Amino acid sequence: MARLQILELPEGSADNRPPFILVIDQAPRDSALFRAFHEDIELNDGVAARVGARGVLVFEDTVEIPANEIAEVFRTEVRESVGDLYDSARRSLESGIERVAAQRAEAAG
């Protein structure tokens, strides 16, 4: 199962909260999640904007990120937001894949 992590970035003078990148690792290459993020840059940008991240990185392998010095309240807030978004995106992608597969099967008839 894919894992969500936060990679803290150096703060700039104009940052009103700590900048970060959302890292999704342990995502199987054949999963809808992995394919969607690797094929659709707008999805990456949309997810990043929605959770306040600078970007989203998705890896098949395990990526170890050293502990970040992010306030626990911020970390919890981001994880909750991302978790809800991830579940929603996963369900949407799975249902879309099932519809496409059914349409292809019907067309192949």
33-84: pLDDT as tens digits: 888 888 888 888 888 998 889 999 999 998 888 754 566 677 778 778 777 8
Q: What pLDDT shows up at residue 58?
A: 92
Note whether 33 and 58 are within 8 A (CB): yes
Domain boundaries, the chain: 3-8+20-108
Does the predicted model carry a pTM greater than 0.75? no
> Could you give the residue ranges of the DSSP H alpha helices within 40-108?
41-51, 72-108
Does the pLDDT value for residue 10 go beyond 70?
A: yes
